[in-house]
């Protein structure tokens, strides 16, 4: 993914202005942002070396050089991790595309036993591997409840977000949700460049969703692991839920996405209602609000 490294560095150079960094701007600029020589000056490396790095021709770049480039580009912690994944292939965990993804039976049993909390188990590609009844009713009641059990039929949360109208309608602020999803997928793609199924998913979404393709080209990077989301559910109306993403304590890269409501709120009553099964008459839980999210450090 040397091209990915170059794309990432160019995208971050393009977002900075010389005057913001105390550099004198000179000459006409064909493209916005810092020139390569300006970035190299800030990072304390030669223009030739930085150019080779951006073109994917420099092997075994040192941590010190990456740190200097990260500081010059003012990268976030998530972006620094992504830079290292792209620049240092030995950090990457090779994927085995032939291995079928499945949750452990004990994990599936635990998820099924959880009440009052909507739970979804996912692999690194956001394929749904298991969900409890409430997770199914909250996120995808229009899918068969047993669909996660079949590799050919299981839903993918990212694909649903961009290509499934019912899922788009589920989020009060769909565009923010879409941006976070793409930024998270970028992190995963950097860590697993050999995952053929992941590459196929990205290619499909680029072809079928212009908005996804636009977001993907900007190379956003963000690890969103907890926060608050606002839903416009077709059966119980609007509700505010807190979410947490928990990494499974093994090398599977599986995650559990959990949604819960504040005790004593209309959203808690709505979740209890959903937990009983499909609701015949839609209702309004809370008024529409602007969605927000937080990142865990």
The CATH fold of domain 2-91: 434 Repressor (Amino-terminal Domain) (1.10.260)
Note the CATH number of domain 105-294.
3.30.450.180
Count the neighbouring beta carbons within 10 Å of the beta carbon of residue 115. 12
pLDDT attached to residue 100: 53
Q: What is the pLDDT of residue 262?
A: 95
Match 């690194």 to its residue by tokens. Answer: 124
Beta strands in 63-127 (DSSP E): 118-122
237 forms beta bridges with: 233
What residues does each domain of the chain span? 2-91, 105-294
Q: What pLDDT is attached to residue 1?
A: 40
CB-CB neighbours of 278 under 10 Å: 8
pLDDT by 10-residue block (mean), the chain, 297 residues: 81 82 64 83 90 82 91 92 84 48 86 93 94 95 92 93 97 95 94 90 97 95 92 94 90 90 93 79 43 40
């Amino acid at each position: 993914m040397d091209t990915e490294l170059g794309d990432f560095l160019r995208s971050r150079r393009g977002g900075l202005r010389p005057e913001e960094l105390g550099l004198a701007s000179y000459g006409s600029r064909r493209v916005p942002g810092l020139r390569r020589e300006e970035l190299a000056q800030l990072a304390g490396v030669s223009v030739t070396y930085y150019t080779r790095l951006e073109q994917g021709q420099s092997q075994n770049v040192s941590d010190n050089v990456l740190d200097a480039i990260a500081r010059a580009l003012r990268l976030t912690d998530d972006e620094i991790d992504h830079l290292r994944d792209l620049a240092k292939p030995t950090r990457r965990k090779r994927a085995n595309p032939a291995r079928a993804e499945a949750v452990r039976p004990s994990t599936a049993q635990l998820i099924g036993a959880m009440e009052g909390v909507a739970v979804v188990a996912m692999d690194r590609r956001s394929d749904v591997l298991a969900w409890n009844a409430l997770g199914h009713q909250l996120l995808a009641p229009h899918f068969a409840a047993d669909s996660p059990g079949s590799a050919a039929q299981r839903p993918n949360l990212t694909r649903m977000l961009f290509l499934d109208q019912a899922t788009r309608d589920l989020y009060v602020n769909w565009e923010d949700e879409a941006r976070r999803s793409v930024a998270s997928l970028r992190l995963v793609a950097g860590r697993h460049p050999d995952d053929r199924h992941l590459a196929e998913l990205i290619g499909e979404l680029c072809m079928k969703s212009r908005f996804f393709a636009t977001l993907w080209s900007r190379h956003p990077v963000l690890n969103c692991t907890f926060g608050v989301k606002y839903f416009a559910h077709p059966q119980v109306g609007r509700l505010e839920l807190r979410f947490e993403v928990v990494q499974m304590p093994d090398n599977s890269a599986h995650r559990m996405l959990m949604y819960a409501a504040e005790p004593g709120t209309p959203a808690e009553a709505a979740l209890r209602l959903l937990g009983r099964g499909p609701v015949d008459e839609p209702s309004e839980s809370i008024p529409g609000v602007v969605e927000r999210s937080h990142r865990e450090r």
